[in-house]
Amino acid sequence: MKTHKLSQLAKTIRSKNAGVDLITFDVIFAKRETYERVKRAGVLTRETVCRLYRIGPERIADFVEFDPGNAIKFTIYRLRPSGSPGDPDIFGAQQYAPLLDVEVPDDAASGP
């Protein structure tokens, strides 16, 4: 099946602290139909995020499909609060990269 990478479909893919104990991830689409298509494809769910980041389901603090923003958003617990010695990403700003390459199958009807 033909696929596209999430980085080709999403307008914004980012990560950022949400307070000192959480990192939140936003995948935002410019068009409603692209957003709906990625939702339908089931490639971004609690389960796929756990597999991608190799974490247990208890690390996911929240997972929201945010229709008003055409966005899929999830939040994970840090193991230690931000800025503890050894924390390499105090702002949590560079944790999204693995999402870029998530493969999204093309719908029968639509291209990218």
Partner 1 sequence: MIGGHVDGEAAVDSLRIICPNGHLGFAPLRVESFRLGVAVRPDYIAADSGSDDVGPVPLATDTSASPLEWQMQDLEHMLLASRELGVPMIIGSSGDTGANSRVDLYVRIVRDLAVKHGLSRFRLGYFYSEVDREKLRRRMRAGETVPGLEGHPALTESELDATERIVAMAGVHPFIALLGQGADVIIGGRSSDSCVFAAPAIHHGFPEDQAYYLGKVLECASFCAEPYGGKETVLGEITRNAVEVTAMHPAQRCTVASVAGHAMYERSNPYFEHVAGGTLDMSACRYEQVAEKTTRVTGAKFRPADEFRVKLEGAGRIGERYVGMVGIRDPYTIAHVDEVIGWARDKVRERFGDGGYELHYTVYGRDGVMGELEPLRDRPAHELCILVQGVAPTANMAEEVCLIGTRQMFYARLPDVKGSAGSVAFALDEVLRASPACRWTLNHTLRCRDPLELFPTHMTAAGG
> Interface with partner 1 by CB under 8 A: which residues?
12, 16-22, 24, 26, 28, 30, 52-55, 61-62, 64, 66, 68-71, 73, 75, 77, 79-86, 88-91, 94-95, 97-98
Smallest separation, CB 38 to partner 1 (Å): 16
Q: Which is nearer to partner 1, 77 or 112 (CB)?
A: 77
> How many H-runs (helices) and E-runs (strands) does the chain carry?
4, 6
Smallest separation, CB 92 to partner 1 (Å): 8
- 3-state SS record for 56-100: CHHHEEEEEEEHHHCEEEEEEECCCCCCCCCCCCCCCCCCCHHHH
Angle at 37 between CA 72 and CA 2, to 5 degrees: 120
Smallest separation, CB 7 to partner 1 (Å): 15
